[in-house]
Amino acid sequence: MKAADMKNKKYILPIIVLSQFCCTSLWFAGNGVMNDLIIHYQLSSNALGHLTTAVQFGFILGSLLLAILTIADRYSPSNVFLSCALLGSLFNLGIIWDGNNLASILILRFMTGFFLAGIYPIGMKIAADYYEEGLGKSLGLLVGALVVGTAFPHLTKGITNTIPWKFVLTFISSLAVCGGLLMLLLVPDGPYRKKGSKLMLSSFFKVFKNPLLRSASFGYFGHMWELYAFWAFVPIILQTYSIKHPSAIFNIPLLSFLIVAIGGLACVFSGYLSQKTGTKKTASMALLLSCICCLISPLMFMNESKDLFVAFLLCWGIVVVADSPLFSTLVAQNAKPEIKGTALTIVNCIGFLITIISIQLLNILQNYTNLIYIYTSLAIGPILDY
């Protein structure tokens, strides 16, 4: 069946979304079983920040190479997606080897992140090749899948306390393989894809010459300063509140899933809302609200109501990511068709480099400052964007 005919098939977008969910579950697979890794491999208590950063570093390097070599524009995106899903799954599975230590686990998480660079931005590229009109809505669903996929390891661990952590990692790797196969078998190249005919290293440098694309990119960068640092530290945020208020007892893995995953619904809602209020306006409002959450977080730690604290974190989980698909939409819409995949990839690359800085900043601050105050530093990104 021709790609032009496939664009009218209602199942194309759901398949892309499902594949993205399955494969991006690799992202926080280590975080979902972090306590088990610390005990089993005798890691230090600050291993969370290091392992999360390793994934981000891998993603950055992978994104950089994909962008420089314009892989997503020269080769079938579905083929790239499957290849990266298979390799990412393999490195994620490597964590279950009993001979691992901190160094080897860091390498495995780095390589998992490296191949995630061929999943997340490539999935957006595939969606952009199918949907020119209503792209914000489509990317809202797609980033929503990323959010739920990212949160999924927390859920798996939260409801499977009697199941070994190695099974959790094996299950997530198997899920990613299925996602890659679905993309290859059911999603051919889209009707709006314009193939790059040759290697154009200059494309990497042309991306930011467009002022509209540059503006959208800087909005994305401010958003990324906050997003992954918040996601990575959600379990620590809950633990900190429990220590400060001993009567507050949480199922931390399950609640962490809910706080992160609710952002998936926010992405879908913001995609639909942007069609009425405008993409840029909707993104700016979400960025402002998430900035406010950062600034008032110390007050929330001090309040005695456990329910109010959880409600606050759920609200933060909504607004912290609602703008993500909208900034990606603006990037895709303002990039030239022949370098659209490269533009999405390089913007993601820089965005994830920024996440490393903010995650490590929190890692450092928690050693020198009261934990209830460190999350105000996440407001830096949204403030600078404004």
* Residue 225 confidence (pLDDT): 95
The pLDDT value given to residue 63: 82
Alpha carbon of 79 to those of 72, 185, 187: distances in Å?
10, 10, 10
Instruction: Quote the mean pLDDT of the chain.
Output: 85
**SS3 at position 8:** coil
Measuring CA to CA, which residue among 343, 336, 5, 67 is closest to residue 194? 336
CB neighbours (10 Å) of residue 44?
A: 9
Q: Which residues does 20 contact at the CB level (< 8 Å), separation at least 6?
A: 119, 120, 123, 142, 145, 146, 149, 179
Burial (Cβ within 10 Å: 0-12, 13-18, ≥19) of residue 192: middle
Q: How confident is the model at residue 229 (pLDDT cuts 50, 70, 90)?
A: very high
**Model pLDDT for residues 50-90, shown as the tens digit of each residue:** 888 899 899 889 988 887 787 877 788 899 999 999 999 99
Q: Write out the DSSP string of 305-326.
A: -HHHHHHHHHHHHHHTTTTHHH
| All domains of the chain in start order, with CATH | 3-189+208-385 (1.20.1250.20)
Q: Does the structure show a pLDDT above 90 at 44?
A: no
Is there a contact between 156 and 171 (Cβ–Cβ < 8 Å)? yes
- Let me know if 10 is exposed, middle or buried by CB neighbors in 10 A (0-12, 13-18, 19+): exposed
Whether the CB-CB separation of 385 and 218 falls below 8 Å is answered with yes
Q: How confident is the model at residue 168 (pLDDT cuts 50, 70, 90)?
A: confident
Asked whether 261 and 268 are in contact (CB, 8 A), the reply is: no
Angle between helices 324-334 and 211-244 (to 10 degrees): 170
**Range with lowest mean pLDDT among 20-24, 169-173, 207-211:** 207-211
